Amino acid sequence: MIAEIVAVGTEILLGDIVNTNACFLSRRLAAVGVDVYHHVVVGDNPGRMAAAFRQALGRSDLVVVSGGLGPTEDDLSKEVMAEVLGLPLDFDAAVMAGIEDFFRKRRRPLTPNARKQALVPRGATVLPNPVGTAPGLFLEAGGKMVFLLPGPPGELGAVWEQHAEPLLRRLGVGGQVILSRTLKVCAMGESQVAHLVGDLFASSNPTVAPYAKPGEVHLRVTAKASGPEQARELMAPLEAEIRRRLGWRVFAVDDGTMAHAVGERLVAAGLTLAVAESCTGGMLGALITTVPGSSRYFLGGIVAYANQVKVSHLDVPGELIRERGAVSEEVAGAMAAGVRNRLGADVSLAISGVAGPGGGSPAKPVGTVCFALARPEGLFTWSEFLRGDREEVRGRACQVALTTLYRYLVTGNPEGE
């Protein structure tokens, strides 16, 4: 079965919001063995919406529409789809009663336009919305299946998981499952990864596909089988071969992050961590503490943005800052040593850089970042030139620092194998 996802909303085309619904729906459809061939985004224009719906119905067996079910005049998905399918809209008293109950429980006035959400294409199955007022709808017409789902991600997810997906399973759609597992690779570029495992990309089931991410390469392994366990059995030998070739550089799977990987290694080694930050302004500490249980190894951090704070709170010599500049490996090293001593940590990281958009110089242009790792064996400092805007430079600086710490924790050497 071929599926198509049509997202309705001018706000998506304008870039005001990210279409996370398409990502969610693709994953959920794969879980029931449905292949998604097309993602389409169309604005709140009835003519263009009708054209998009007709195109989707002409080339796909299952069409999932997100958005455009609300009470306002530009919420037109239901009306346009009903027109395309030649179906009248009927008032559904049960849906209206649910809408009235929703407003009553929240002590909000019921506006006249809420009645619009109680209009249902004739023959449609209503999919109750447990967290909103606009219900989802399911239609079968001309041998095609159509889902109309609310646009807010929380509402769409609830309607899909509680009603739409169970309905698809009852209908016996798919028959197979499509299961994916993403291996995350660090300290290696996409070309180098392809050189080492590129021959595995020719595999047909399971498949392997590389995706370049900032500072990482992701390898998505996907299998299609009669059930999840069978799919996992297909993927296991391929994943094992990838891990054999890439070794410790495979640092996480699926939702795992570098912060998680570092935390696991620190716990295993019985080590504690502290950080000193300048240009990242606490971002590194925030990333570390996204991991549940990080209090077992993370002692804390000092955000020393101003030079006088580097001196007073990290014991960085003022003369060193005057001679080498705040953005220097020497100062980063002093910051790392200072926070390690102050907080009594086993290892520490420090970051100082020029994140931009101003503040750069010919010698130290925007994107210049200096790092330090203080550890029992001594101090390791290094510099990187990171591209991107201010937030990208800061984010990548945190990633570089954590990746270097991870390399040290795995290999015992922050520079080598």
Give the tens place of pLDDT for each residue, 73-128: 999 999 999 999 999 999 999 999 999 999 999 889 998 898 999 999 999 999 99
Decide: helix, strand or coil at residue 69: coil
Average pLDDT over residues 186-199: 96
Rounded-to-integer distance, Cα 371 and Cα 384, Å: 8
Neighbours of 293 (CB within 10 A): 9
**Could you tell me the CA-to-CA distances from 21 to 8, 17, 52, 268 in Å, in that order?**
11, 11, 17, 38
Decide: helix, strand or coil at residue 278: coil
Rounded-to-integer distance, Cα 87 and Cα 108, Å: 33
Rounded-to-integer distance, Cα 250 and Cα 218, Å: 9
Output the CATH code of domain 258-411. Answer: 3.90.950.20
Please say whether the beta carbons of 364 and 334 come within 8 A.
no
Amino acid symbol at 328: S
Q: What is the per-residue pLDDT for 416? A: 73
**Could you tell me the CA-to-CA distances from 4 to 37, 59, 146, 161, 351 in Å, in that order?**
6, 9, 10, 18, 46
| CATH 3.40.980.10 for the 2-170 domain, yes or no | yes
Please say whether the beta carbons of 127 and 145 come within 8 A.
no
- Residue 108: Cβ-neighbour burial (10 angstroms; 0-12, 13-18, 19+): exposed
Q: What is the per-residue pLDDT for 417? A: 72
Residue with tokens 């399911």: 138
Residues 6+ apart with CB under 8 A from 267: 296, 297
Q: What is the per-residue pLDDT for 302? A: 98
Rounded-to-integer distance, Cα 412 and Cα 406, Å: 9
For residue range 271-319, what is the model confidence (pLDDT) as tens digits? 999 999 999 999 999 999 999 999 999 999 999 999 999 999 999 999 9
Decide: helix, strand or coil at residue 192: helix
DSSP, res 134: S
**Extended strands (E) in 175-260:** 177-186, 207-213, 216-225, 250-253
∠ CA(167), CA(170), CA(173), 5° rounding? 90
Give me the residue spans of the domains in the chain: 2-170, 177-253, 258-411
∠ CA(96), CA(70), CA(41), 5° rounding? 145
For residue range 215-259, what is the model confidence (pLDDT) as tens digits? 999 999 999 998 889 999 999 999 999 999 999 999 999 999 999
Rounded-to-integer distance, Cα 21 and Cα 205, Å: 27
Amino acid symbol at 340: R
Architecture of the domain whose range is 177-253: 2-Layer Sandwich (3.30)
Q: What is the per-residue pLDDT for 356? A: 96
Rounded-to-integer distance, Cα 283 and Cα 276, Å: 11
Q: What is the per-residue pLDDT for 175? A: 72
For residue range 160-179, what is the model confidence (pLDDT) as tens digits? 999 999 999 899 887 788 89
Average per-residue pLDDT in the chain?
96
DSSP, res 245: H
DSSP, res 332: H
Average pLDDT over residues 180-187: 96
